[in-house]
Amino acid sequence: MRENAKDPQRHAERMARKQRVMRERMARAQKEQGVLLVLTGPGKGKSSSGFGMLARALGHGMKVGVVQFIKGKFRTGEEAFFRRLPEVDYHVMGEGYTWDTQDRERDIEAAEAAWKEARRMLDDESYDLVLFDELNIALRYEYLDLDQVLDDLEARPEMQHVVITGRYAPQALIDIADTVTEMDVVKHAFKEQGIKAQKGIEL
What is the footprint of a copy of itself within residues 104-133 (CB under 8 A)? Answer: 104-105, 128-129
Minimum distance between the CB of residue 162 and a copy of itself, rounded to whole angstroms?
10
Q: State the helix-helix crossing angle for 76-83 and 46-59, rounded to 10 degrees.
A: 10
Under the binding rule (CB under 8 A), the answer on residue 149 touching a copy of itself is no
Under the binding rule (CB under 8 A), the answer on residue 157 touching a copy of itself is no
Phi first, then psi, for residue 165 (nearest 5°) are -120, 170
Q: Which of 6, 86, 147, 158 binds a copy of itself (CB under 8 A)?
A: 6
Minimum distance between the CB of residue 124 and a copy of itself, rounded to whole angstroms?
17
CB neighbours (10 Å) of residue 42?
12
Under the binding rule (CB under 8 A), the answer on residue 171 touching a copy of itself is no
Q: Which of 65, 70, 93, 98 binds a copy of itself (CB under 8 A)?
A: 98
70-85 in b/e form (b: 16+ CB < 10 A) is bbbeebeebbeebeee
**Cα distance between residue 132 and residue 70, in whole Å:** 10
Measure the N-to-C terminal CA separation of the chain; round to a whole number of Å: 35
Looking at 25-33, 110-118, 119-127, 147-155, which segment touches a copy of itself (CB under 8 A)?
25-33
Is-contact 38 180, C-beta < 8 A? Answer: yes
Minimum distance between the CB of residue 154 and a copy of itself, rounded to whole angstroms?
15
Minimum distance between the CB of residue 199 and a copy of itself, rounded to whole angstroms?
5
Residue closer to a copy of itself by CB (options 118, 169) is 169
Q: State the helix-helix crossing angle for 146-154 and 104-122, rounded to 10 degrees.
A: 10
Under the binding rule (CB under 8 A), the answer on residue 3 touching a copy of itself is no
Minimum distance between the CB of residue 131 and a copy of itself, rounded to whole angstroms?
10
Type of residue at 50? G
State the number of binding residues for a copy of itself (CB under 8 A).
93
Is-contact 126 63, C-beta < 8 A? Answer: yes
Where in 65-94 is the site for a copy of itself (CB under 8 A)? 74, 76-82
Minimum distance between the CB of residue 106 and a copy of itself, rounded to whole angstroms?
11
**Cα distance between residue 97 and residue 166, in whole Å:** 13
- Most distant CA pair in the chain: distance in Å? 66
Under the binding rule (CB under 8 A), the answer on residue 63 touching a copy of itself is no
Cross-strand partners of 46: none
